[in-house]
Amino acid sequence: MDDVAAILEPHIPGLRRYAWALLRDREGADDLVQDCLEHALAGWHMRRRDGNPKAWLFTILRNLHISELRRRSRRGTRAELEEADSAEAFQDGDPERRLIFRDCLSALDTLSEEQKSILLLVGVEDLSYADMAKTLDIPIGTVMSRLSRARERFRQAMETGSATKLRRVK
């Protein structure tokens, strides 16, 4: 089991970050990561030996998230949880950073699940474009155009965010 741990565990911080960005719920995100790791262990013999375990793990996590989204009616306690967690994230941070943090999260909320995943997996988790194409099961050219569109929407949402407004007022 040690070699399995040596391959899986280095990816756990990134998986938790991606899961949290999708859910904004500390416990829910870790449940998702746990589910992902359990699937990875169960399917350990079936992973592609030549494949990249990182991309494989993120793909499992995203697929679990999507099936969960399908099951769940989206109503919710999410806003509350988000507030709670954002307070936790930047308790001692300066107010501007906290504003940027809020803007980032609300900008993310304007994106579709796929746009969110592209933006997070490429821009934050550093997945290669080729791995991103495999994760979404689309050609690499389509990854490029969807990434551009996700960036455009995210940028526009950020530009209307409170941190930018504040900076303009200054």
Partner 1 sequence: MIADPPIGEDDLNAFVDGRLPPERHALVSRFLSENRQLGERVAADITARSALRESLQFKAAEPIPARLRVANLAVERGAAPRHWLRVAAAIFLFALGGAGGWFAHARFAGAAVGQRETPVAAEALSAHRVFTAETVHPVEVAAAQEAHLVQWLSRRLNHPLKAPNLSSQGFRLMGGRLLPAGSGAAAQLMYQDDGGARLTVYLRADGNGGAAFRFVQGQNASAFTWTEDGFGYAIAAQVGRPQLLTIAESVYQQSKASEQPKKPPPT
In the complex, least distance from residue 18 CB atom to partner 1, rounded to whole angstroms: 9
> Residues near 71 by Cβ (< 8 Å), separated by ≥ 6?
none
> Smaller CB distance to partner 1: residue 44 or 80?
44
Spatial distance between the Cα atoms of 166 and 129, rounded to a whole number of angstroms: 35
In the complex, least distance from residue 3 CB atom to partner 1, rounded to whole angstroms: 10
Note whether 51 binds partner 1 by CB under 8 A: no
| Run of H or E including 20 | helix 12-23
Q: Which of 51, 80, 155, 160 binds partner 1 (CB under 8 A)?
A: 155
Chain Cα centroid distance, residue 169: 32
Spatial contact of 18 and 36, defined as CB atoms under 8 Å apart: no
Q: How far is CA 45 from CA 13, 57, 85, in A?
A: 23, 14, 37
Note whether 129 binds partner 1 by CB under 8 A: yes
Whole-angstrom distance between the N-terminal and C-terminal Cα of the chain? Answer: 56
Note whether 30 binds partner 1 by CB under 8 A: yes
Note whether 21 binds partner 1 by CB under 8 A: yes
> Smaller CB distance to partner 1: residue 20 or 58?
20
The conformation of residue 125, written as its DSSP 8-state character, comes to: T
Q: Write out the residues near partner 1 by the rule CB under 8 A.
A: 1, 4-5, 8-9, 12-14, 16-17, 20-21, 30, 33-34, 37-39, 41-46, 63, 66, 69-70, 89-90, 97, 100-101, 103-105, 107-108, 111-114, 117, 119-120, 122-124, 129, 137, 141, 144-145, 147-148, 151-152, 154-155, 158-159
